[in-house]
Structure 1
Amino acid sequence: MLIGITGTPGTGKTSVAEALRRRGHAVLDLKTTVAPYVLEHDEEMGADVVDVEAWAEAYADLDGFVEGAISHYLPCEKVIILRCRPDVLEKRLTPRGYSAAKIRENAEAEALDVILIETADAFATEQIYEIDTTFIDSETAADMILAFAEDKVPASFGSLDWSEYVMSL
């Protein structure tokens, strides 16, 4: 079973993936596998355009987790969306050396539920689990992910509302 772990940059995907790996789970880092499938680099967005269909075909037999900001475009059986309050997200992204514009763009995307909306458009309600990582550590988030993966908790998403942040822009 392929389970995607997605979210805006800074929501904790890499840290949670490391926590899952420490527990012995197979976790593929999407960034380490996409290079052969990059169609172009969008300079304006500072992001690669990836041939998701070709990647998915190459990794069709993957059993485990795949972590990355575009994993919700893959043919996963379940998708976990990591979320973070936009003001906290900005603080997490600042040390990465991103430009102010890129930090703002990511915070706005988080406030506007961009990845949630993209995921909800592509997957059934029972396949999606949203986790607010604003004030929890990666081990707690990993516990929550495993509970959903093992059908111990129901799907859940759409309860976070950061419209206040949008209004302050």
Structure 2
Amino acid sequence: MLTIKPCERTNEVNVTPAIGRIHSLNQLPTNMREGCRVALSGTPGTGKTTISRLLHSEGFDVLSMEKIAEKHNCLGELDSSDNSKPIDVELLISILRNTWDIIPSDITIIDGHLSHLLPCNHTIILRCKPDILEERLVKRGYSKEKIQSNVEWELIGSAWNDNEGKDGWLELDTTELTENEVKERIIKWIADDFKPNAIDTDIDWIASMEE
């Protein structure tokens, strides 16, 4: 079982601006900028890399899960079906349990599919309607097998559903949102002390198809 350490909070008093007016890391009050790790996960094609770049432009530290895996020799050979290298997630988790004991000095975004499995303090899951996701993956040139497995993963969403209502867990449907809208919602969530999704906002593609 992973041990997730909560972000430490200080007793420093700050005048907090309205959450809706916070658009970057620098606008967060000091007591809301305590260091922690935030996983940015989701099926390939949901927008993780793009959103990570936008968050980085707003002052957040961003680390790629692939780069972390490479640093700790947890990368496999290149997979030609999607031009990515498989990560030995179990090995990486066992290493990070020891090396991530110290909380970072700043809020750090960990970008990568399955980053929600790493010992992070909070988690963001980007979702996308399966039919739109399929179109995105076709444009990327993924093989039919890779497209099918990723679309099925998104459709079932079992990994995400197991965490419904957990603290520090945000699930966002990116299908019809602009990149900036996704970024703004994430920053608002951070400013609102990482409050979890309301149960009635959890995403269930199968249920929506049956309606």
Say if 2:65 and 2:115, in contact at 8 Å, map to a contact too. Answer: yes
Secondary structure of 1:125 counterpart: coil
The residue type paired with residue 57 of structure 2 is R
**Deviation of the 1:92 alpha carbon:** 0.9
The corresponding residue for 2:74 is: 38
Gap change, CA 1:153 and 1:32, over 3 Å in 2? closer
Listed as ranges, the gaps of 5+ residues in structure 1 are none
**Deviation of the 1:114 alpha carbon:** 3.2
Aligned residues: 164
Say if 2:69 and 2:87, in contact at 8 Å, map to a contact too. Answer: no
Instruction: Indicate yes or no: 2:199 matched with 1:163.
Output: no
Say if 2:128 and 2:154, in contact at 8 Å, map to a contact too. Answer: yes
Instruction: Indicate yes or no: 2:187 matched with 1:146.
Output: yes
Query: Given the alignment, which residue of 49, 52, 69 partners 2:88?
Result: 49
Secondary structure of 1:81 counterpart: strand
Q: 1-side partners of 2:55 and 2:78: how far apart?
A: 31
Q: 2-side partners of 1:30 and 1:82: how far apart?
A: 16
TM-score, normalization by structure 2: 0.67
Runs of 4 or more, structure 1, over 6 Å off, are 164-167
The structure that is strand-richer by fraction is: 1
Gap change, CA 1:165 and 1:77, over 3 Å in 2? same
Identity, % of aligned pairs? Answer: 30
Say if 2:122 and 2:194, in contact at 8 Å, map to a contact too. Answer: no
The higher radius of gyration belongs to 2
Q: 2-side partners of 1:132 and 1:24: how far apart?
A: 24
Say if 2:169 and 2:194, in contact at 8 Å, map to a contact too. Answer: no
The residue type paired with residue 41 of structure 2 is T
Q: 1-side partners of 2:194 and 2:76: how far apart?
A: 39
**Deviation of the 1:42 alpha carbon:** 10
The corresponding residue for 1:18 is: 53
Q: CA RMSD in A?
A: 2.9
Say if 1:42 and 1:49, in contact at 8 Å, map to a contact too. Answer: no
Deviations 1:12-44 (A, max 9, x none): 000100110111211111112212342756979
Q: 2-side partners of 1:49 and 1:165: how far apart?
A: 34
The corresponding residue for 2:157 is: 113
The corresponding residue for 1:128 is: 169
Gap change, CA 1:90 and 1:165, over 3 Å in 2? farther
Query: Given the alignment, which residue of 111, 117, 120 partners 1:73?
Result: 117
**Deviation of the 1:131 alpha carbon:** 0.4
Listed as ranges, the gaps of 5+ residues in structure 2 are 1-35
Say if 1:3 and 1:77, in contact at 8 Å, map to a contact too. Answer: yes
Q: 2-side partners of 1:109 and 1:81: how far apart?
A: 13
Q: 1-side partners of 2:77 and 2:161: how far apart?
A: 24
Say if 2:41 and 2:125, in contact at 8 Å, map to a contact too. Answer: yes
Gap change, CA 1:59 and 1:72, over 3 Å in 2? same
